[in-house]
Chains A and B, each alone.
Chain A
């Protein structure tokens, strides 16, 4: 059979493809039938948080920080409850990372504050002596791209039924609704309002001034995202 295949490259290729594709069919397709369902308390990202998530991705934070707490005592001691699949239901893309040059950030919102992030991102070694993390000074000057985050929100709402503007069950039995503005202008206004809440706890005068002028620096969006990780 093999000698015959070697003289008939077309059938050879068909067989190679079948053998190669087999594992994917068995492993991946069944899992998609069970779409990942959000656990109670998981909310889609607000416009400002999603803007911050894009800043996180743009700056490659995931090359050094994981967002996956494994079910070991040493990890739950250090980072909190181990990760559960449903918590990632609204994560497109997933941001588990593959390398912990820095610590895991899955629940960083539980134990770090706006103030801590503001100082840390400007000069990490001044907050954590010995840190290898570069200074992310440009985040304090670059204006964040709220529009693209809003476009992403509209896209996931339209194509994947992400439940914006719908009451969602929380852990304490209450209901919460994550709003999605009907217009781009509305989304910008909401993001700016959220940004003002963040900058109320910040010191950098340039950042505060930018927000006053209606511009949101990347650092503010990023902190909004990091604070949402719980």
Chain B
């Protein structure tokens, strides 16, 4: 096998990448559309019953919200990550999927089992089958499906690495390995549950389970998981993407190897400690809260390490930001990563958290991270891969540019309105009048948010419109452009 490609360049096989690119686009539209619907529901509660009161049970905010988070995190984001893995993996390990029938089978099985699981997740969440734990809502039969999918991905990683020609594994692969290992550990421990149907000898609903942990312990495990699901779904795999796609697209070498080392190992060690900042002033042990708070501040170092490393990779080539919309996505993505990883630690400071916790500021923080960093990087990854996977130029550069500005405006509206909403509400909750009584009833702190909820819904809608433009652009790329023979080395070929 070693000599098979000796005299000609490697032909990479992108069939699994293509499948996951489709999933990225479809699940992106679904997840963001649900997000936009629930944003309007908060601004105008009548939207809850807009689809008819007969099905209001399935369209109201509290049923749809977990569907939104699951669809964008485990649908859109993971599909984007996997599309990129099946592309980057072959290229940096210098081995083609076509070389191993086994790995091709695993890759396809990975996708198709995932597709079936997605349908199961959507249906079960809509029906209200949920454990209630955020980002771990799925009940035990779904959990087993997720484990199977995850193991298949693990086999794919280990398999491609096993038959690699390039001895040293590139930075992106470090981050993919870390993502695989950490999520496996977190997911299994957080989802330890006993199916009640079997434990009680066949009574009740077989889908139901009960958590193995109770009360404060349950909360501690959940946020150890919850925070690091963010770390290892929204951070490490996205760093894997930018470490590959930014140097490739710009034609620049990664600025500093030492900085990559420092930020990788720093991130690995520090991130897991920070989960405690989700349960500040709660009933979990005080020292866990303090550790969570302190390590959140320390976390700025490895986070900014990666982001600065990426921005400095553009050193001397900043004109590309002006000329290439694709570089724009990645540079702004990296900037939002810096921004979000500074905002998070600020919110983790105990006295700030006293105001910020339970408010929309937290929602704003999540969204400047995911809209500005995660989704922008995945969009950039697909724009970089599409010309190489489909061997066609990007359909329209100007559409891409318009999309960039519409989505950027959407993000700005989103996080600014949520900042104001969150801080306003946090301050109103704690306000006392001159006699020491509470100054506002709870409903006062709700009605005041209406304009900000409306602005946020507009911001989200703009972002969705941009995403639909992206879907259209990719679709037209595959269907309306002539096939190119040669692949460009750096910048993606783009039409007008």
Contact = CB atoms under 8 A, between A and B. Distances in A.
What range describes how many residues of B lie at the interface? 35 or more
B361 to A, nearest CB: 11
Contacts, number: 257
B217 A84 contact: no
Interface string A15-44: 011011111100110011001100000000
A66 B283 CA distance: 14
A134 B205 contact: no
A71 to B, nearest CB: 6
B488 interface: no
B140 interface: no
Determine chain A's interface SS by DSSP, over half rule: helix
B272 A89 contact: no
A20 B235 CA distance: 14
Contacts of A135: 48-49, 53, 56
A151 B204 contact: yes
A226 to B, nearest CB: 15
Interface stretch (B18-26, B102-110, B274-282): B274-282
Nearest to A79: B442
Given A88-B214, A148-B205, A151-B208, A59 B182 contact: no
A85 B60 contact: no
Contacts of A88: 214-216, 218-219, 283
B288 interface: yes
Contacts of B472: none
B273 to A, nearest CB: 4
B3 interface: no
Contacts of A31: 216-217, 220, 284-285, 288
B223 to A, nearest CB: 9
User: Sorted from nearest, which 9 A-B pairs have the closest CB atoms?
Assistant: A88-B215, A60-B62, A148-B204, A23-B272, A151-B204, A58-B128, A85-B283, A134-B48, A151-B200
26 contacts: A3-B168, A7-B167, A7-B168, A9-B177, A12-B174, A19-B265, A27-B224, A27-B275, A57-B131, A60-B128, A70-B354, A74-B431, A85-B284, A92-B211, A93-B218, A94-B219, A95-B132, A98-B358, A98-B362, A131-B446, A132-B42, A132-B446, A134-B61, A137-B56, A151-B200, A158-B200
Interface of A: 2-3, 6-7, 9, 12-13, 16-17, 19-24, 27-28, 31-32, 35-36, 54, 57-64, 66, 68, 70-75, 77-78, 83-103, 125, 128-138, 145, 147-152, 154-156, 158-160, 184
